[in-house]
Structure 1
Amino acid sequence: MQANNKTVVKSMQILTLFIKHPKLTFTEMMEYSGVPKTSLHRMVGSLEEMGFLTKDEQGYYSLGLLFLQFGQLVANRLDIRNIAKPVMEALRDEVEEAVNLIVRDGNEAMYIEKVDTLHPVRLYTSIGRRSPLYAGACSRIILAHLPEKEQEEYITQTELAPIGIGTITDQKKLRNVLKEAKEKGYTISTSELENFTTSVSAPIVNHQNEVVAGISVAGIEARFQGDRLPFIIQKVTEAASLISEKLGYQGSLK
C-alpha cells in the first residue's frame, strides 16, 4: 500500500510540472522531477494510457483532454462563478475595466473568474493565478475579513516581500490598511502586484455571513484618477452586494 501511495505522489509531482510548462519532453520531465528514468517511463506510460497526458508528433507531452473534462466539472460546480459571471460582465461594461473574482486558497488568493476590459492597453491576468493575501486589493479584502487571531498569525508568520513598487511590506501599515478595509467595505491597491496599476475590491459574503470571495476592478493607474475612482468604488461595492444577495446574504455590506 505504501509503495502505491509513493507512486501516486510521484505521479502528481509529474502532473504538477505542467502547471508552469505547457509542454515537456521526457528528458525535461526527468530533469525537473528527479524521478529515475525507469520509474518515470512507467508512470508516464500509465498517465498517457489513462488520458492524463498526451504526446504529440514532436515527442512533447502535455496534459490530456481528461483534465479539460475534470476542469469543466469543477468550474460548473463552483456556484459562485456561475452566479458572479453576469454581474461581473455588467460591471465591466459600466466601468470599462477588467473584473476579477478571487477566493482564498490557504495563505494565497486564487483567481477563479475574470472578465477582460476592451481597452487595448490592459492587465493580463489568468484564471488560476495566485497572489499572497497581503498584496493586491482583491487578496487583501479577504485577509481583512479573517478572524482577528488568524489574521494576526498570518501577518506575523508571513514575510511581506515586495512584489511591485507599492507592495505593503510593513506589518503596522498592513494592519492599519486591513482595519480600514473592513470598516469601509472596500480596499484599494496601487502598484502592489504590477507597477502602475490600480485595483479596487469589495468582499462577497454568503448566507452564513462568511466572506467567501472578493471581486475587483483592475486596470492601468492613469484610468483610476479624479472622479473615476469614487465611481469605480461605488460600482464594485454594488456588484459585491448583488452577488452576496444571490448567495443568500441578507445583511448590509458597507
Structure 2
Amino acid sequence: MQAHNKTVVKSMQILTLFINHPKLTFNEMMEHSNLPKTSLHRMVGSLEEMGFLTRDEHGHYSLGLIFLQFGQLVGERLDIRTIAYPIMKELRDDVEEAVNLIVRDKGEAMYIEKVDTLHPVRLYTSIGRRSPLYAGDSRIILAYLPEEEREAYIDCTELNPIAMGTIIDENTLRHALEEARLNGYTITSSELENYTKSVSAPILNGKNQIIAAISVAGIEARFQEKRLPELIDKVTKAAKEISMKLGSQTS
C-alpha cells in the first residue's frame, strides 16, 4: 500500500508541473521534479500510456485530452448545483416534498444536492448517498443513456432487491426504461426504501445528453394517484428549466 501511495504522489508531482508549464521536455520535467531519471522515465511512460500525458513530434510533453473530459464533467457537476438549487427550492416550496439532484458516477448514482421537505415525517436521503442506477429515482438516468450503454449495464449488473418494490427482473427493467424514455419521467414505489415514492425527470446538456436527474421523493401516503399528474408536471418543468440553462434545446 505504501508503494502505491508513493506512486500516486509522484504522479501528481509530475502532472502538477503542467499547471505553470504548457509543455515540458523530459529533461525539463527531471529538472523541475527532482525525481531520479529512471523513476521519472517509468512514470512518464505510464502517464502517457493512460492518456494523462501526450508527446509531440519534437519530444515536448503536455497534458492529455483526457483532462478535457474530466474538466467537462467536473464543470458540469459544479455548475449544475448552482443552477439547479434555486429551481429545486422553488419546487420544494411548491410541492412541499424533498427534491433531489442526482448524477451518474460510473455504475452508480450519487445525490449531489437536496432541498428537504418541511414535513416532520421524511426521507433522510443525504448528499453523497449512492444508489444503483436500476432502482429508485436515479433510474431515469439509466433510461436516457445510449442503448449500448444501457444494455452493457444490464448485462453486467446483478439486480439485487433493496426494498419490496425493487425491480430484479431484466425484462421488467427494460420495459420500465423504455416507458421512462417515452414518457419523459419515471415513477418509482418502494424501490430503495419501503413505503416511499418518487417522481423523477432527466436533465440534459447542450448536446441533449443526460447529465443528471431531478426528483421529488417522499412518503408513499403523500403521493396519492390523484396527485401524481401535478407532481409529474412540476418535476418535468423544473428539469426542462435546468436543462435549458445548461444549453439544452429541448422544449
TM-score normalised per structure 1: 0.70
1:6–1:116 CA distance, 2 compared to 1 (3 A): same
**How many residues are treated as equivalent by the alignment?**
187
Q: Per-residue CA shift, 1:21-41, capped at 9, x if unaligned?
A: xxxxxxxxxxxxxxxxxxxxx
* 1:154 alignment partner in structure 2: 153
1:76–1:145 CA distance, 2 compared to 1 (3 A): closer
Conserved 8 A contact 1:75-1:81: no
* 1:108 alignment partner in structure 2: 108
* 2:131 alignment partner in structure 1: 131
For 2:188 and 2:240, the matched residues in 1 are separated by 20
For 1:222 and 1:104, the matched residues in 2 are separated by 29
Q: Which amino acid aligns with 1:149?
A: E
* 2:71 alignment partner in structure 1: none
| Displacement of 1:7 | 4.0
* 1:174 alignment partner in structure 2: 173
Q: Which amino acid aligns with 1:195?
A: N
Q: Per-residue CA shift, 1:161-208, capped at 9, x if unaligned?
A: 000000000000000000000010000110000000001000001111
- SS of equivalent residue, structure 1 residue 110: strand
For 2:75 and 2:86, the matched residues in 1 are separated by 15
TM-score normalised per structure 2: 0.71
1:8–1:191 CA distance, 2 compared to 1 (3 A): farther
Conserved 8 A contact 1:198-1:219: yes
- Residues 82-91 or 152-161, more deviating: 152-161
- SS of equivalent residue, structure 1 residue 200: strand
Conserved 8 A contact 2:240-2:250: no
Q: Per-residue CA shift, 1:220-244, capped at 9, x if unaligned?
A: 0010003211111110000001000
Q: Per-residue CA shift, 1:142-170, capped at 9, x if unaligned?
A: 00011111101111110000000000000
Aligned pairs for 1:101-250 (under 5 A) are 101-137=101-137, 139-250=138-249
For 2:89 and 2:174, the matched residues in 1 are separated by 32
For 1:77 and 1:174, the matched residues in 2 are separated by 27
Conserved 8 A contact 2:198-2:217: yes
- SS of equivalent residue, structure 2 residue 221: helix
Q: Which amino acid aligns with 2:88?
A: M
- SS of equivalent residue, structure 1 residue 233: helix
Q: Any gaps of 5 or more consecutive residues in structure 2?
A: 10-73
Q: Which amino acid aligns with 2:128?
A: G
For 1:212 and 1:5, the matched residues in 2 are separated by 32
Q: Which amino acid aligns with 1:107?
A: G
- SS of equivalent residue, structure 1 residue 227: helix
Q: Any gaps of 5 or more consecutive residues in structure 1?
A: 11-73
For 2:134 and 2:171, the matched residues in 1 are separated by 12
Conserved 8 A contact 1:201-1:216: yes
Q: Per-residue CA shift, 1:43-93, capped at 9, x if unaligned?
A: xxxxxxxxxxxxxxxxxxxxxxxxxxxxxxx89970000000000000001
For 2:102 and 2:124, the matched residues in 1 are separated by 15
* RMSD between aligned residues: 2.1
For 2:108 and 2:205, the matched residues in 1 are separated by 20
1:77–1:219 CA distance, 2 compared to 1 (3 A): closer
Q: Which amino acid aligns with 1:136?
A: G
